[in-house]
Amino acid sequence: MKVILIGDSGHARVIADNVISNGDTVVARLDDKYKELDKKEDCWYGPSSSVHQLIEQEQAKVIVAIGANAIRRKIVDKLNLSDEHYATIIHKDALVSPSAKLGLGTVVMPGVIVNAAAKIGAHVILNTRLVIEHDCFIGDYAHVSPGAMITGGVTVGEGVHIGAGATVIPTKTIGAWSTIGAGSVVIDDIKEQSTAVGVPARVIKTAEQTLSTANRKV
């Protein structure tokens, strides 16, 4: 398979290694820091708008290789590609249950374990050596960081970022676009657009608090 990466920073380099580990080829690294399309050593470099040309020219699939969830969603919306143009990348050293389902545009890093009946959305990052246990649901554009443990029956909403080494105990729900700090242990449901840290995890910021702070600055 030929792959076009949207983004050319550290996270994109990690995804490129994933692609290569599977015997596939990165044929383009597109980023708006490049002003013109140019080919160097069998790889295209250019602005993200070049993706439409290169999909047809190279017969390639696309991965949005951006670590920030909101930016990744914004780029997917801007590119407006049909689902068929996106790849799903699973590192050869990851273990994914045959009964698990993974969305398009999702990347599974080395050492990841995804267990039975887990459902992973589109454009999700499952980072190095994390565990997604049975019957979990991970929403679109989520990013689960290295070493995290998502135990059975957990629901993780769209755009959630779970920090490195965090643990979520069984059947809990983390609302959309929330952030769980590194090393935290989630033992209660977390409302959407919240930030929670600590052992056990406590909410330190909510959407309402963020809006209130913004209003005071106006």
Please spell the DSSP secondary structure of 68-122, one letter per residue. Answer: -HHHHHHHHHHH---GGGB--EE-TT-EE-TT-EE-TT-EE-TT-EE-TT-EE-T
Q: What distance in Å separates the CA atoms of residue 32 and residue 27, rounded to the nearest whole number?
A: 17
Cα separation values, 185 from 33, 132, 155, Å: 38, 15, 15
Q: Which of 74, 208, 12, 99 is nearest to 4 (CA)?
A: 12
Q: For residues 94 and 43, is the Cβ–Cβ distance under 8 A?
A: no
Query: Which pair of structure tokens corresponds to residue 10?
Result: 């550290």
Neighbouring C-beta atoms of residue 112, cutoff 10 Å: 23
Q: Which one is catalytic: 11, 123, 134, 161?
A: 134
Residue 161 falls in the annotated catalytic set: no
Query: Which pair of structure tokens corresponds to residue 122?
Result: 């589109």
* 124 CB-near residues (< 8 Å, 6+ apart): 102, 103, 105, 106, 107, 138, 139, 140, 141, 142, 143, 144
Residues assigned a catalytic role: 134
